[in-house]
Amino acid sequence: MGTLGALNHLLALFLPALATGMLAAALAKVVWRRALRGVRWFRLALWSVGGCFVASVSGLVILGRDGMMATYGAMVLASALALLWAGFGPGR
């Protein structure tokens, strides 16, 4: 595998986590506009993307494959919990 092939594999692993985290943070800012007024979008996105990255790598390690529906479900759950922590919990 060459350098471009390795880069393609890394992007395929982490791009869904990045997109899910950033989209979830943006939607949280829209839905809970008043409650999250004092919390910056970048902070929410950072927590959410971090949770999605952890879920993605954990799914790869535990299940042995990337791209399984259980991994994507774990990414959504991790993103929701990270947004809850960063936006409404003690991490605020």
Of 17, 7, 31, 10, the C-alpha closest to 72 is 17
Total-model pTM = 0.89
- Whole-number pLDDT of residue 90: 84
- Whole-number pLDDT of residue 21: 96
Report the C-alpha gap between 12 and 68 in whole angstroms: 13
Question: Average pLDDT of 77-90?
Answer: 94
Task: Annotate 19-82 with DSSP letters as a single string.
Answer: HHHHHHHHHHHHHTTTTTTTS-HHHHHHHHHHHHHHHHHHHHHHHSSSS-HHHHHHHHHHHHHH
Mean pLDDT score across all residues of the chain: 93
Say how many C-beta atoms besides its own lie within 10 A of residue 36's C-beta. 21
What is the share, in percent, of the chain residues with pLDDT greater than 70? Answer: 99
Question: Average pLDDT of 26-52?
Answer: 95
Question: Average pLDDT of 8-29?
Answer: 94
- Whole-number pLDDT of residue 77: 97
